[in-house]
Chains A and B, each alone.
Chain A
Amino acid sequence: MVDVTPADAIPPAEVAEMELYHPHSWWTKYVFSQDAKVIAIQYSATATAIGFVALVLSWLMRLQLGFPGTFDFITPEAYYQFITMHGMIMVIYLLTALFLGGFGNYLIPLMVGARDMVFPYVNMLSYWIYLLAVLVLVASFFAPGGPTGAGWTLYPPQAIMTGTPGGQDWGIMLMLVSLILFIIGFTMGGLNYVVTVLQGRTRGMTLMRLPLTVWGIFTATVMALLAFPALFVACVMMLFDRALGTSFFMPAIVEMGEQLQHSGGSPILFQHLFWFFGHPEVYIVALPAFGIVSDLISVHARKNIFGYRMMVWAIIGIGALSFVVWAHHMYVSGMHPYFGFFFATTTLIIAVPTAIKVYNWVLTLWRGDIHLTIPMLFALAFIVTFVNGGLTGLFLGNVVVDVPLSDTMFVVAHFHMVMGVAPIVVIFGAIYHWYPKVTGRMLDERLGQFHFWVTFLGAYLIFFPMHYIGLMGVPRRYNELTDVTVMTESAQHLNSFISIMAFIVGFAQIVFLFNLIWSIRHGREAGGNPWRATTLEWQTPQTPPAHGNFGKELPIVYRWAYDYSVPGAKEDFIPQNMPGAFGTSREPA
């Protein structure tokens, strides 16, 4: 506690601060707002709303699978529309939008010590285009023929043919247009996040002092900016095939005895484009979750994240590797079989940095001072479900093991565990963690406990047994399993059990939604830093933070984000903007 860090260690501000745009009316303050925090809430609310549509769709599917033949209104067409829209909403319009548009917008400026995103106006446009994309998507439910039922992967040729719901109606067109809009909107937001992290950091906030939350969101955004263009062109090309009769993805085809005019296109080209986007997409969702969960564990175990530098390099390594593994989704697609050797190898290599992250999370718990708060409980649930789902990824990534399991319920169970349940429990943990900053009040603890236990145990009971139904050989995307011989009667009972659990877990989400709304007014007052955390968002002069985030002076950063329980220091946390040396901090540099 002796030598104070000399002030000249902090670089002077390179450029003078720019005046923020100040809203003049209610409309520009809360609706057409340029404040990243308001945009974040708009993104989150929209994503949550459309997410509940996806939840209802999953219930409808589970009704059909759990109790076949009982619900006449679930026709095969309707069933395929449910699975398609459920998948697309969850992956794109909920998870991507919520992690990057929601958490990214709220946390990046606050955590790096910026007043706002660097391009606030473009940031605002990003949200409104996202909203338009969601509305176009929702419109397809009301269009003639209903939404597309092509599966969320939208594989041609079937996606644009009459045998598929929405294939020759409006469904597929609206889906493609909505995706194109989403990507345009995302690009506007994404450029903002990247430039803000690179250029908007406050003095002293070096890259190696960034909280891992920011590292996760930043890397995911860079990946999304590189991956989404592949989906964009695939959508445009399919739109041309469907609307103008081109043949990018359409070879010569006989449909129901009739020769179509297409010729020479390649269905597998679409799959390469789709998965060149689609695999990085898994990590676009996972990396923000990795980052956030690292911070949740560190704060609530009162301990620095173990191996910070390794964690940063693991995030970057996973991000880079995830661009060379895409064809592991295509082992049985009929691509050249020798690709299997390459993609199995790259896919299993990616397990190494991923495993390192898991080790570092559990080693952060080791000799910690673990507060079993709701965010910590959700973080523990994340580790369990992520490890489980990650390990079943080693089955599917190992080309020959994938052959019997591909396109079965095993795959459904795997990806729900690893990129459904795992990131979503992180979202829940993050909401319980940051809600006090956003609203100034805590979420209700008892409702939170209920929400946690039902969600965690329920989701595990849904998806763990489902792997074994897949192992039996039961294919996915079947609305009708009664004539499938490998589907035994006992497995049908298991399916009914899974459906009942799905309803219970879904109900817990309604309780959560109630908690979110109720606590805005009735929650316990939180104060500015209820978790006694070090990062800058907890050091704002006002809670909720005002427009401009930090009052008159931007904070200056003197230390890394993980000075918890520093020996010799009085408190068990030292905020990043606290000058001076305390105890024996050993910031990795």
Chain B
Amino acid sequence: MAIALVLVLIVVGSVLFHFLSPWWWTPIASNWDYIDNTIIITFWITGVVFAAVVLFMAYCVFRFRHREGNRAAYEPESKRLEWWLTVVTAAGVTALLVPGLFVWNRFVNVPSDATDVEVVGQQWQWSFRLPGKDGKLGTSDTRDVTPENPLGVIASDPNGQDDVVVEAADLHLPVGKPVKMLLRSIDVLHDFYVPEFRAKMDMIPGSVTYFWFTPTKTGTFQVLCAELCGQGHSLMHGVVMVDSQEDYLAWLGEQQTFAQLTAPEQTGSADQIPGKTIASGQEIAAELETVGSR
């Protein structure tokens, strides 16, 4: 008996919690309100199903509880009811899936006017690179990473010379302009996540991943790493500042290009053969590497 009441209370309590509690998503600051809408649709459909199933159960437990002399009905199956329920469920699932895939299609197809912005993760900080006047990012390789060239920009690629490098500092973006975030890592998996933008994507060493969005509000937003990346994971924060166009240009003017950053050491680092700077502690591992790679 108590259980029937508790089942009803669970439904009522959950619904009240959903609508009355102060814990809800942070206000959105990007174009992905499509995603928020899809979540709302999902909340409604799943919420109705949850309430219906649990309340039906509560009714059954109350109405058909054991009393002296009771006997259960005997009904092995009912094809009609089972098919009917299957069709209704399939319809509900379709109602979730169709808008979901529609929005996903938008999410993965980057508009042609989006600007490239590169994010590079490493334990446990964020760096960024913006294309220079040519509008193109130069190619990069983890093997080219040195203290002078922390992002591993390939020095021989002319497109890279005017790239703006923002090492372990805040990223600024202009409001209202779509950006394609190109995501790289030089050590382990990371994930570039800004809750207000609703988008995130893992960063994989050796690959370039991406997502795109349009910032819709100016302000300061926290970047969180959302893929476990070692013991400093929960402290791997960064900052994205969404600026008006003028503020953005002012900030951009203060940044240094790859050519400026590497100018004094350029010849030295170009001579270096990638992959040959092994610390002494790694010698045994290096020997085993040659064995393993045969």
Interface residues of chain A, those whose CB is within 8 Å of chain B, are 76-77, 80, 149-151, 155, 157-158, 161, 163-165, 167, 240, 243-247, 251-263, 265-268, 301-304, 306-310, 332-334, 337-338, 340-341, 344-345, 348-349, 351-352, 355-356, 358-360, 362-363, 365-372, 377, 380, 383-384, 387-388, 391-392, 394-395, 398-401, 403-408, 457, 460, 464-465, 468-469, 471-473, 475, 477-481, 483-486, 488, 490-491, 494, 562, 564-567, 572, 584, 586-588
Instruction: Indicate whether B168 reaches chain A with its CB closer than 8 angstroms.
Output: no
Q: Determine how close the nearest CB of chain B comes to the CB of A371; give it in whole angstroms.
A: 5
Cα A144 to Cα B191 in complex, Å, equals: 30
Closest to A305 in B: B76
**B85–A486 CB distance below 8 A:** no
A365 surroundings in chain B (CB, below 8 A): 57, 60-61, 64
Contacts of A348 in B (CB 8 A): 93, 96-97
Q: What 9 A-B pairs are tightest by C-beta distance, nearest first?
A: A473-B195, A251-B206, A163-B230, A334-B209, A246-B292, A245-B289, A337-B108, A478-B234, A158-B188
Q: Which of B34-42, B154-162, B170-178 contacts A (4 or more CB under 8 A)?
A: B34-42
A-B contact pairs, 11 of them (CB 8 A): A157-B189, A165-B231, A245-B291, A251-B207, A252-B143, A304-B76, A345-B97, A355-B89, A356-B86, A380-B57, A407-B193
Which of A391, A395, A469 touches B50 (beta carbons < 8 Å)?
Answer: A391
CA distance in complex: A163, B234 (Å): 13
- Are B207 and A245 in contact, CB atoms less than 8 angstroms apart? no
- For the complex with contacts A332-B202, A367-B73, A401-B100, 6 further pairs of A-B residues with Cβ separation under 8 Å are A247-B293, A398-B100, A400-B100, A401-B42, A472-B24, A475-B225
In the bound complex, how far is the Cα of B101 from the Cα of A247, in angstroms? Answer: 36
User: B: which residues have CB within 8 A of A?
Assistant: 1, 3, 6-7, 10, 14, 17, 21-26, 32, 34-35, 38-39, 42, 45-46, 49-50, 53-54, 56-57, 60-61, 64-66, 70-78, 81-82, 85-86, 89-90, 93, 96-97, 100-101, 103-105, 107-108, 122-123, 141-143, 145, 147, 152, 183, 186-189, 191, 193, 195-196, 198-207, 209, 211, 222, 224-235, 237, 274-279, 282, 285-286, 288-289, 291-293
Question: Does A255 contact B187, Cβ atoms closer than 8 Å?
Answer: yes
**A254 is contacted by which of B23, B122, B201 (Cβ under 8 Å)?**
B122
B46 contacts which chain A residues (CB < 8 A)?
Answer: 391-392, 394-395
Chain A residues contacting B145 (CB-CB under 8 Å) are 254, 259
Q: Is the CB of A384 within 8 A of B7?
A: yes
> CB-CB < 8 A to A465: which residues of B?
17, 21, 23
- Please, how many angstroms separate the alpha-carbon atoms of A321 and B2 in the complex? 38
Is A332's CB under 8 angstroms from B191's CB? yes
A337 → B minimal CB distance (Å): 4
- B44 CB → nearest A CB, Å: 11
Taking CB atoms, residues of chain A closer than 8 Å to B191 are 332, 407
Q: Specify which of B60, B195, B211, B278 is in contact with A259 (CB 8 Å cutoff).
A: B278
- Assuming the contacts A356-B82, A387-B54, asked whether A398 and B75 have C-beta atoms less than 8 A apart, the reply is no
| Cα of A365 to Cα of B188 in the assembled complex, Å | 51
Is there contact, CB below 8 Å, between A310 and B82? Answer: yes
Q: Which residues of B contact A310 (CB under 8 A)?
A: 77, 82
Residues of B within 8 A of A377 (CB): 3
Contact pick for A475, options B45, B97, B224, CB 8 Å: B224
Flag if A494 contacts B23 (CB, 8 Å). Answer: yes
Do B104 and A341 touch across chains, with their CB atoms under 8 A apart? Answer: yes
Q: Is the interface of B mostly helix, strand, loop or mixed?
A: mixed
Residue from A163, A302, A406 in contact with B200 in the complex, judged by beta carbons closer than 8 Å:
A406
Interface centre among B60, B76, B90, B227 (most CB of A within 10 A): B76
Q: Is the CB of A254 within 8 A of B142?
A: yes
Q: Which residues of the other chain, A, contact B183 by a CB distance below 8 angstroms?
A: 334
- In whole angstroms, what is the CA distance A457 to B282 when docked? 53
- Partner among A155, A244, A259 whose Cβ is within 8 Å of the Cβ of B288: A244
Residues of B within 8 A of A584 (CB): 74
Least distance between B267 CB and chain A CB atoms (Å): 20
Contact of A484 among B97, B141, B186, B222 (CB under 8 A): B222
Closest to A165 in B: B231
CA distance A261 to B101 in the complex (A): 41
Q: Is the CB of A398 within 8 A of B17?
A: no
Contact (A475, B75) CB under 8 Å given A351-B93, A398-B96: no
A485 with B222, Cβ < 8 A, contacts A307-B82, A355-B89 known: yes
Partner of A472, one of B25, B75, B202: B25
CB proximity of B47 to chain A, nearest CB, Å: 8
A257 touches B292 (CB 8 A): no
- Contact in complex: B17, A464 (CB < 8 Å): yes
A345 proximity list for chain B (CB < 8 A): 97, 101
A562 contacts B76, C-beta separation under 8 Å:
yes
Minimum CB distance partner of A157 in chain B? B188
Q: For the complex, what is the distance from the CA of A566 to the CA of B76, rounded to whole Å?
A: 10
Return chain B residues, CB-CB under 8 Å to A360: 82
Given contacts A261-B278, A332-B202, A572-B71, contact A472 B26 (CB under 8 A): yes
Q: In the complex, what residues of A have CB within 8 A of residue B291's CB?
A: 244-245
Q: Which residue of B lies closest to A468 (CB)?
A: B23
> How many angstroms between the C-alpha atoms of A258 and B73 in the bound complex?
73
Q: Find out whether the CB atom of B204 lies under 8 angstroms from the CB atom of A334.
A: yes
